[in-house]
Structure 1
């Protein structure tokens, strides 16, 4: 078959953005802009758009002033412009309710399609077109691969998103993400007390171990958000963040430490304006093998998967690390 005749169908390119609702927009802006060093690209009507210093597109983070601290959307960029419409048609054929969003629904972004993941009910938005504005002159870097100068704790980009849902829906959601959206399972664990139910699955469409993770929520509810991870350059940056955040009025989560799963260093903190969990994430390995076989973690080694070294995550009964935030529905 000629190469020009091959069409792989619609595909997801990467995890592109997240829209976090915050009851205190100014406090959240201080955290992401002044502490983490993200650039505010636009702000209008109680909504702010930010990006890391190595993100050339308009934004990866949207902060929305609202009463409830919830996640309004999880954004994924697709590989081609036509993939937005092709995914929309695919969802219609599968009976997945979706709505079209006009260009400009988020500033700087083109038309999109919004839907709820079957089973987990997380609100995803797929888009392709997004502007690439230059930073204001005072923030520009001499490096053309950087959208702005490195500032604050040096957030480079959005790395991955971690979602949770009920034990009764996690298998359906994880399977749909793989079969309908093309995510590949990289590492996973099953519930020890229910070995046919997924405890957690790390999925990607890029060489990363995960662009998206999904697992069982402690409250056994669908549509839960555990954390969003932002990438920093190296392990020293994580240690510096841990040191500096101790001096600030910010809820310190867990870490610094290193995951066995993905093999990256982590530090979990909470946005002081909303309480949403934020991970600062560095390192990890990449997967280039086209025939990669997913790695299963079982007890007792699973504890090394969560924490290879460093601050142990309190994942037992009542552990704060298991707390989550709610997500919006089909409409924001």
Structure 2
């Protein structure tokens, strides 16, 4: 079979076939009287073998070795190809995210594109100070794409840089919730924590409350607590059980108590919250420190029900609890007198 026929049947150009011949990769078995290359059926099969290996990403040198060296093990080569392909995909994925971030900024001129690219480069710096400065030093007339900030939030481990990123994201006016929402499903609990904490600071954005509601069921305690504090400040009653648990456990209990106070502004929630706190006060496992935190939480509640419980606690068997309840009740009464004096002045 002459080279032109082989090219038509194999789909490999005559130029490439000559290149294979020069490399010794696929040499035709014979020559015609006129000196033309003549390929046998075996030669054609070898061409197909070469093309198959090329489709896997092997170089021509690797293909030659694979076809000629009996000691060559394909498993090691395939493993190398997998690693190389994964690295390439990772690089291409990073490039794709950069392009999307630039596109999201709706650039109208090259200087703006270059500023966004420079920001992305600075956010990749190994220096936390440089990353933080890159966010805080951005000029007002160059809005940072929300998707870029949200993506950076999910990967940023330094708390100071993360705070700057959340601040910039909250004031960007863009919609980074979708990117952060994806982060709430990450296998890494640290990524989920960062995602929920960022959403908590932009909880009025469309879709944010729904994401936080879902986060209340997260397997990670910290994720649930971040979500509960944000939802409590938004007046979402679904956060009550987690907030009460935070008071019991002494984890951000002051913030949790304040969130419960906000929720108690709704009369429909006030009795429920008071009942939950009283139940924990009566729990056999509640030690003195826990009961003191619960007593302090009652002060934050709106209405008279919490004060009634405080009155009862002034006679509690635990003297420390009784002392705290008495002091808090006296403080509430002083505040009430001050308000009345203000009203009459």
TM over 0.5: no
Give me the TM-score of the superposition, normalised by structure 1: 0.21
Which structure shows the higher strand fraction?
A: 1
Larger Rg: 2
Higher relative contact order (CA 8 A, sep 6+): 1
